[in-house]
Structure 1
Amino acid sequence: MIARTGAIGLLAATLIASAAVAADKVTVAYFLEWPTANQVAQVDKTYDKELGVEVEWRAFGNGNEMTQAMVSGDVDIAYSQGFVPFVVGVTSGAPLKLVGIAVTYAENDLCIVRDDAGITKDNARELEGKKVATPTGNVTHYKLLRTLTHLGVDPAKVDIVQMNGADAAVALVRGDVVMACAFGGPIDRMRTVGKPLMTGAEQEAVGINTFDIVSATDSFAAEHPDLLRKFLAVTDAANAAYAKDPSAVYEVVSGAAGMDLDATKAMMANFSFPSNEEQLSANWLGGGVQEAAKGVADVMTATGNLDKPLDDYSKFVDPSFLK
Structure 2
Amino acid sequence: MKKITGFLLALLLILSVLFVAGCTTSKRSQNQAAGYSGEKIRIAIQYGLGYAPVQIVKEKKLIEKYLPGAQVEWKQMGGEMIREAMVSGDLDIGFTGQAPFWIAWDKGADWKICTALGSSPLGLVTYREDLKSLKDFKIGDKIATPYSGSIQHMLLAMAAEKELGNPKAMDKNLVSMQHPDAATAVVSKRAIAAHFSAPPYLYEELDTPGVELVLNGEDAFGGEFGFLVGSATRDFHDNHPTAYAAFVMAMDEAITFINNNPEEAAKILAPSYKMPAEKVEKYLTWPGTNYTSTPYGLLGFAEFMKKAGYISKVPKSLDEVCWENVTAAIGKKSGGLSPVEKAQYRDSNKNNKR
Residue 74 of structure 1: how far off its partner (Å): 3.6
Cα shift readout 1:246-291 (whole Å, capped 9, x = no counterpart) = 1112233345xx4434388176566945323x42x4x24xx23533
Cα distance change on mapping 1:47 and 1:220 into 2, 3 Å? same
> Which of the numbers 135, 154, 157 marks the counterpart of 2:165?
154
Residue 317 of structure 1: how far off its partner (Å): 1.8
Is 1:98 the counterpart of 2:113? The answer is yes
Whether the aligned pair in 1 keeps the contact of 2:115 and 2:231 (CA below 8 Å) is: yes
In 1: Cα distance, 2:208 partner to 2:81 partner: 33
> Which of the numbers 202, 211, 228 marks the counterpart of 2:244?
228
Residue 27 of structure 1: how far off its partner (Å): 0.9
Q: Where do 1:79-158 residues align within 5 Å? A: 80-107=95-122, 109-112=123-126, 128=135, 131=138, 133-135=142-144, 137-138=148-149, 139-150=151-162, 153-155=164-166
- In structure 2, give the amino acid aligned to 1:60: Q
Is 1:216 the counterpart of 2:232? The answer is yes
Residue 238 of structure 1: how far off its partner (Å): 1.4
In 1: Cα distance, 2:104 partner to 2:127 partner: 34
Whether the aligned pair in 1 keeps the contact of 2:41 and 2:92 (CA below 8 Å) is: yes
Q: Where do 1:282-297 residues align within 5 Å? A: 283-284=297-298, 287-291=299-303, 294=306
In 1: Cα distance, 2:168 partner to 2:101 partner: 30
- In structure 1, give the amino acid aligned to 2:154: Y
Residue 130 of structure 1: how far off its partner (Å): 5.8
In 1: Cα distance, 2:48 partner to 2:56 partner: 13
* Residue of structure 1 equivalent to 2:321: 317
Residue 242 of structure 1: how far off its partner (Å): 0.8
SS of residue matched to 1:105:
coil
- In structure 2, give the amino acid aligned to 1:311: K
Cα shift readout 1:188-214 (whole Å, capped 9, x = no counterpart) = 2897446324334555661566x2320
Cα shift readout 1:98-145 (whole Å, capped 9, x = no counterpart) = 2222354333x325596567x5xxxx7xx5586375347333332122
Residue 236 of structure 1: how far off its partner (Å): 1.9
The structure with more radius of gyration:
2
Cα distance change on mapping 1:316 and 1:112 into 2, 3 Å? farther
Cα distance change on mapping 1:153 and 1:83 into 2, 3 Å? same
Residue 37 of structure 1: how far off its partner (Å): 2.8
Whether the aligned pair in 1 keeps the contact of 2:46 and 2:96 (CA below 8 Å) is: no
Whether the aligned pair in 2 keeps the contact of 1:96 and 1:215 (CA below 8 Å) is: yes
Cα distance change on mapping 1:292 and 1:223 into 2, 3 Å? farther
SS of residue matched to 2:231:
strand
Q: Where do 1:151-300 residues align within 5 Å? A: 153-155=164-166, 161-164=172-175, 180-183=194-197, 188=205, 192-193=209-210, 195-200=212-217, 202-203=219-220, 206-207=223-224, 211-225=227-241, 227-254=243-270, 258-262=272-276, 265=280, 268=284, 272=289, 274-276=291-293, 278-279=294-295, 281=296, 283-284=297-298, 287-291=299-303, 294=306, 298-299=309-310
> Which of the numbers 33, 43, 66 marks the counterpart of 1:29?
43
Bigger relative CO (Cα 8 Å, ≥ 6 apart): 1
In 2: Cα distance, 1:160 partner to 1:74 partner: 31
Whether the aligned pair in 1 keeps the contact of 2:125 and 2:213 (CA below 8 Å) is: yes
SS of residue matched to 2:291:
coil
- In structure 2, give the amino acid aligned to 1:101: A
Whether the aligned pair in 2 keeps the contact of 1:96 and 1:216 (CA below 8 Å) is: yes
SS of residue matched to 2:228:
strand
In 1: Cα distance, 2:323 partner to 2:255 partner: 18
In 2: Cα distance, 1:99 partner to 1:199 partner: 27
Work out the number of aligned pairs and report it: 270
Whether the aligned pair in 1 keeps the contact of 2:67 and 2:243 (CA below 8 Å) is: yes
Task: Extract unaligned runs of 5+ from structure 2.
Answer: 1-36, 329-354
Residue 71 of structure 1: how far off its partner (Å): 3.3
Cα distance change on mapping 1:227 and 1:293 into 2, 3 Å? farther
| Cα RMSD after superposing both structures | 4.4
TM-score by length of 2: 0.58
SS of residue matched to 1:81:
strand
Whether the aligned pair in 2 keeps the contact of 1:47 and 1:234 (CA below 8 Å) is: yes
